[in-house]
Structure 1
Amino acid sequence: MTEPSGAPEPTTERATVQVRRAPKIPAFMVVGGLIGFLATLVATSLFPADPLVGFAALLGYFSIYGVTAGVLLGAIIGVVLDRRSQKSVRTVAAERQVVDAAPLEGELED
């Protein structure tokens, strides 16, 4: 396929970039929160509930602590894994082509 005669030429930029596999910390926080909720559910169901308060209210109250602790623990694990992933950084050569758009007919040029 031929390019129109007025098409701009692409320019190539070369650079070296660092590549590494980094964990997604929000995913660790969500999983930690779910594990914290499940741990709270198990811990709350092991003991008899007060009939005046009820099981659901106790679970909701203690979930505040369990979910918070799980999210915090998940974030700490994610940060530790992120720090460890910085040791396996690879440096590679990257090439990027930049093409400036041709002005359209009737468009003002800068």
Structure 2
Amino acid sequence: MSSVPNHTPESASHDSSRQENMTIRRAPNLLAFLITGAILGAVAGFLFGLLGPSSLYYTRGSIVGFFLVIGLIVGAGLGSVVSLIIDRISLKRRRDVTAQVDDVHDSGDRPGS
């Protein structure tokens, strides 16, 4: 008899945890900025068209609709520009970390099974 531990080649070749380098940063949600800018622009355009001067050639409804659409487009554009500026700022504040990754799919022992 020998005192060599009983390791199978299969268990020796599978290392279930490893170290990986990762980058952590907070990125803004572009869609949220786009929608918020569009809503604020539409409200501003609606108010500008409603409270602005009247015209002999156009009805109040067409003036409001025109400024509402223009405000919506400009607001969405400004919202996306703000999002891109904040994204550039978040690139400067990123951190590099080392994480330990555990592979839970290698083992046959699954909790709850």
SS in 1 for 2:98: strand
What RMSD in Å do the two structures reach over aligned CA positions? 2.4
Structure 1 residues not aligned, in runs of 5+:
1-7, 103-110
* 1:29 CA drift (Å): 0.7
Report the equivalent of 2:49: 44
SS in 2 for 1:70: helix
With structure 2 as the length reference, what TM-score do the two structures score?
A: 0.71
Report the equivalent of 1:100: 106
Contact 2:34/2:79 (CA < 8 Å) preserved in 1?
yes
Report the equivalent of 2:66: 61
Aligned residues: 95
Report the equivalent of 1:35: 40
Structure with the larger RCO, 1 or 2 (CA within 8 Å, 6+ apart) = 1
* 1:48 CA drift (Å): 4.4
Report the equivalent of 1:74: 79
Pick which of 38-47 and 49-58 moved more: 49-58
Alpha-carbon displacement from aligned partner over 1:40-81 (angstroms, at most 9, x marks no partner): 011112224458754333222222211000000000000001
Letter in 2 for 1:100: D
Identity across the alignment (%): 26
Structure 2 residues not aligned, in runs of 5+:
1-10, 109-113
Instruction: Write the distance in 1 (CA, Å) between the matches of 2:69 and 2:107.
Output: 54
Instruction: Write the distance in 2 (CA, Å) between the matches of 1:10 and 1:59.
Output: 66
